[in-house]
Amino acid sequence: MNRLRIDPATYDAWSALPVYFQEQSPFYVEGDVSTPTAFIELIGHGIVAEADVLLVETTSRPDDRYWLEPSAPNGVYSLVDLLALDFHHPLLYVGAYDETTDYVTLKRLWDEGYRVPSKRWSRETYEAHLARERQVEHRLSPTTVCAICTSDLSNRYGPLAVRLMECHMEAEAEMWVCPTCHKALHCK
């Protein structure tokens, strides 16, 4: 197991994690992992943090002002120090991973996830794609009609429409699209 799971109904993780991250203070999480670093998962929500596991011990529940219920019997607790915290990370969404997802895959998804819009991209391929598109961003569009949705931006924005169109590169071909369709193409 490479995840430490926190139940937000018993521990106020939404308040605790930002404080401990900002203070750079280690804190205890119930559970144990087999890797020196672990991901913190909020049950029912998803992964929100990456942490170093400093110590694992069987003890009574350590004191922490963020517990929402009275002390529990002895259990296994991991002392962790947060390396990264992101309440907006794509791994927060249900279905981005499952119980069988290994640590290496989760680490790659965590490192690349917020930088790439979909699973078809790796960090390197997405950055290369954006670099190719930046090479032509200085050019004005020859059209004001989106190649995807066929909206004519000049109807709404007049002469500004030519500057609003964006060039999308697909293989060696380029197409001029509206900003919304451009973002959607990157997410596919």
Assess whether pLDDT exceeds 60 at residue 101.
yes
Q: Is residue 118 part of a domain?
A: no
pTM of the model: 0.60
105 shares its domain with 127:
no
65 shares its domain with 106:
yes
Q: Residue 127's domain spans which residues?
A: 123-187
Determine the pLDDT at residue 86: 86
Counting every residue, how long is the chain?
188
Helix (H) or strand (E) holding 29: strand 27-30
53, 88, 113: which is the final residue of a domain? Answer: 113
Q: Is residue 97 part of a domain?
A: yes
Q: How many domains does the chain have?
A: 2
Task: Choose among 131, 130, 132, 152: nearest CA to 141.
Answer: 152
99 shares its domain with 78:
yes
80, 113, 146: which is the final residue of a domain? Answer: 113
The set of residues, in sequence order, having a beta carbon less than 8 Å from that of 92 and lying 6+ positions away, is 42, 45, 46, 47, 48, 86
32 shares its domain with 84:
yes
98 shares its domain with 67:
yes
60, 89, 113: which is the final residue of a domain? Answer: 113
Q: Is residue 13 part of a domain?
A: yes
pLDDT category at 93 given cuts 50, 70, 90 is low
Mean pLDDT over 51-68 rounds to: 93
25 shares its domain with 94:
yes
153 shares its domain with 97:
no
Q: Are 97 and 47 in contact (CB under 8 A)?
A: yes
Residue 130 identity (one-letter amino acid): L
> Distance (Å, rounded) from C-alpha 43 to C-alpha 6?
6
134 shares its domain with 52:
no
Mean pLDDT over 128-156 rounds to: 90
158 shares its domain with 94:
no
Kind of pairing between the strands at 3-6 and 37-42: parallel
105 shares its domain with 137:
no
